[in-house]
Amino acid sequence: MTKLVVANWKMNGDTSKISADLNYYAHVSETNKSNVILALPYIYLVWAKQHLLVNSKINLAAQDLSHYLNCGAYTGKINGEMLKDAGVEYVIIGHSERRNLIGENGPILVHKVRNAFESGLTPIFCVGEPLSARTDGSYLQFIELQLAGLEEIEQFKDIVIAYEPCWSIGTGKIPTMAEIQEVVEFIHQYMQKRFSYVKISVLYGGSVTGQNVDDILKIKSVDGVLVGGASLKVSDFTDICAKV
């Protein structure tokens, strides 16, 4: 199976950087692939789709969507239908920065995943333990709780789960390959048991670089990587994509 590589740009970029980077990616074989997904800030998505990535195989993701399904009086919100209309295929849900900085919790995230399915978007649902749960050994229970809400969704569809230990995001620290394998296999087993009728991909995210991506991708159960910091530098991201 082709492994996925998702670039999470977070709140970074401007028109000149996005124009330069995406023009490059759209014309270089290492990055111009259907398994490469760019999660750009909302306001650049339509432009990227209609002007920068014309005839490119690269897919787009949003970094969030509203928990309100239908259009209406929800100032500042963007729903799944709008994202689909903009040419977006994927949406990141439950990134640890939103869980921790904005306080997004279980029920809201379940609504968001449900809305993504209803709108024809594939969710990239992020889970991962804080350092305290890694240290006291409760990390699998922590992740199980984060996954448990998904069982409420009646019409489950294909999903991408990203295992991102909070203590690894943006820190340069990554778990050992055995630790990544343990959690990724746990997630696969948990999801397979409940949703065997859909396609489930499990990514690893947290301080992925061109130096460590080879080892991470050697783990059979890892279906790809979610890249934050290293996706903002063209040479680093191209390097990663070349190995996926």
Catalytic residue flag (residue 27)? no
- Closer residue to ligand PEP, CB minimum distance, 81 or 168: 168
Task: Name which position in 22, 61, 82, 226 contacts ligand PEP (CB under 6 A).
Answer: 226
63 counts as binding ligand PEP under rule CB under 6 A: no
Whether 87 and 55 have beta carbons less than 8 Å apart is answered as no
Please write down the HEC assignment for all residues of 80-112: HHHHHHCCCCEEEECCHHHHHHHCCCHHHHHHH
Q: How far apart are CA 169 and CA 73, in angstroms?
A: 35
CB-based burial of residue 37 (10 Å sphere; 0-12 exposed, 13-18 middle, 19+ buried)? buried
**Residue among 95, 97, 111, 129 flagged as catalytic:** 95
**Residue among 81, 97, 129, 164 flagged as catalytic:** 164
Catalytic residue flag (residue 164)? yes
Q: Find, among 106, 111, 74, 75, the residue nearest to 91 by Cα.
A: 111
Whether 243 and 208 have beta carbons less than 8 Å apart is answered as no
Structure tokens of 204? Answer: 């690893």
Cβ neighbours of residue 211 closer than 8 Å, sequence gap 6 or more: none
208 counts as binding ligand PEP under rule CB under 6 A: yes
Span 164-193, contacts to ligand PEP by CB under 6 A: 164, 169-170
Whether 239 and 25 have beta carbons less than 8 Å apart is answered as no
- Closer residue to ligand PEP, CB minimum distance, 149 or 210: 210
Size of the site for ligand PEP (CB under 6 A): 13
User: Could you tell me the smallest distance in angstroms from the CB atom of residue 212 to ligand PEP?
Assistant: 11
Q: How far apart are CA 134 and CA 15, in angstroms?
A: 39
User: Could you tell me the smallest distance in angstroms from the CB atom of residue 204 to ligand PEP?
Assistant: 9
- Closer residue to ligand PEP, CB minimum distance, 9 or 25: 9
First to last CA, the chain: 11
149 counts as binding ligand PEP under rule CB under 6 A: no
Span 7-36, contacts to ligand PEP by CB under 6 A: 8
User: Could you tell me the smallest distance in angstroms from the CB atom of residue 230 to ligand PEP?
Assistant: 6
107 counts as binding ligand PEP under rule CB under 6 A: no
Q: How far apart are CA 100 and CA 150, in angstroms?
A: 19
- Closer residue to ligand PEP, CB minimum distance, 82 or 203: 203
128 counts as binding ligand PEP under rule CB under 6 A: no
Catalytically active residues are 95, 164
Q: Where on the chain is the footprint of ligand PEP (CB under 6 A)?
A: 8, 164, 169-170, 205-208, 226-230
